[in-house]
């Protein structure tokens, strides 16, 4: 038979009357035990009042998102034996960022609101809807769409995202993956509109790969954001954020195309303008680093290779 081991489960409980309090439970688990089963046993046998969300127990419904030892995870996709520390202990808490409702259940309505903002549905061509025309899709296009469509709306990426916390204009990782999924879908007729919804927000992402890390479905929202940013050249509109991003990234591309490297002083000047760049120089001077800003690195000798790699444009 499968060998069992007693594990200690500490759960941060919360309700309106009692506020937050940690409670400790002990259960016997084996190598096959999922954390959702641990929760179910606790609820059935020790604390029927314990509240959490769980549905499919196979990582496709996105219900059981929570923090396990501080790490944002799905409980069903976490095996008890992988979660415990060397003292056979595991800590469970509700996800960060969202409003507390009860025990391991946060109110994630703000997550859904983010998703709705990107108009998450296909708008097909009328002739296709009526059946006059047939839409085809290459296997590689399907692969690209499906990669970002695999999101199960669990909310983990938003709970862990530093830009979401600091910037209310940032739509958040999941919404970007969803929005990009339709940009990549040739059957959709609203591509330009979608780029308009997403572009400013895309440049508010800090590319820290937190969403990529915590996503239980390997959706890689940050990659969707980067792929969306790549449309900045064909997007006709602008905002303060987009304008700066264009200057900054164009300068980087130019600099690499010219010398194979990023020339920081040029980057500062072109991105922020003379006044702001000078102000930054002052800060560098106070730190004694201005001498480095003035130093000039050698260019790539075989710059032709770089030019060929980069092609005519960008």
Residues 165-184 interacting with other proteins (rule: CB under 8 A): 166-167, 182
Residue 94: which of 61, 70, 110, 77 has the closest Cα?
Answer: 70
Q: Which residue in 21, 24, 28, 207 binds other proteins (CB under 8 A)? A: 207
Give, as ranges, the residues between 81 and 100 that touch other proteins (CB under 8 A).
none
**Around Cβ 244, how many Cβ atoms within 10 Å?**
15
CB nearer to other proteins: pick between 84 and 252: 252
Is residue 19 near other proteins by the rule CB under 8 A? no
Judged by CB under 8 A, the residue of 7, 11, 29, 53 near other proteins is: 53
Residue 226 binds other proteins, judged by CB under 8 A = yes
CB 189 within 8 A of CB 131: no
Q: How many CB atoms lie within 10 A of CB 111?
A: 24
d(CA 143, CA 120): 18
40 binds other proteins (CB under 8 A): yes
Per-residue x/- marks for other proteins, 101-140, CB under 8 A?
xxx-x-x----x---x--xxxx-x---xx-x---xxxxxx
Helix crossing, 264-286 with 240-259: angle to 10°? 110
Q: Please count the residues of the chain.
A: 314
User: What character string, x for contact with other proteins (CB under 8 A) and - otherwise, covers 265-284?
Assistant: ------x-------xx--xx
Q: Which stretch binds other proteins (CB under 8 A): 3-11, 12-20, 86-94, 189-197?
A: 12-20
The Cα–Cα gap between 313 and 92 comes to: 51
């Amino acid at each position: 038979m499968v060998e069992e081991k007693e594990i200690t489960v500490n759960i941060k409980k919360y309700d309106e009357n009692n506020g937050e309090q940690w409670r400790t439970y002990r259960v016997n688990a084996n190598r096959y035990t999922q954390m959702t089963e641990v929760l179910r046993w606790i609820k059935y046998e020790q604390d029927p009042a314990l509240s959490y969300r769980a549905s499919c127990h196979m990582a496709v419904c996105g219900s059981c998102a929570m923090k396990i030892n501080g790490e944002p995870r799905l409980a069903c996709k976490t095996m008890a034996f992988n979660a415990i520390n060397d003292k056979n202990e595991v800590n469970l808490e509700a996800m960060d960022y969202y409003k507390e409702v009860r025990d391991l259940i946060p109110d994630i309505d703000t997550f859904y609101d983010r998703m709705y903002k990107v108009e998450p549905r296909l708008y097909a061509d009328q002739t296709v809807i009526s059946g006059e025309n047939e839409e085809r899709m290459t296997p590689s296009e399907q692969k690209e769409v499906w990669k970002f469509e695999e999101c199960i709306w669990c909310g983990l990426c938003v709970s862990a995202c530093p830009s979401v916390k600091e910037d209310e204009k940032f739509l958040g990782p999941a919404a970007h993956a969803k929005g990009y999924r339709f940009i990549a879908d040739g059957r959709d007729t609203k591509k330009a509109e979608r780029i308009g919804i997403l572009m400013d927000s895309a440049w508010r992402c800090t590319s820290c790969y937190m969403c990529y890390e915590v996503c239980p479905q390997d959706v890689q929202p940050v990659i969707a954001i980067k792929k969306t940013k790549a449309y900045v050249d064909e997007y006709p509109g602008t905002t303060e954020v987009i304008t700066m991003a264009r200057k900054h990234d164009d300068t980087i591309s130019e600099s690499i195309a010219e010398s194979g490297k990023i020339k920081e002083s040029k980057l500062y000047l072109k991105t922020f303008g003379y006044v702001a760049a000078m102000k930054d120089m002052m800060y560098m001077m106070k730190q004694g680093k201005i001498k480095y800003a003035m130093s000039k690195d050698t260019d790539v000798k075989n710059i032709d290779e770089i030019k060929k790699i980069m092609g005519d444009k960008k």
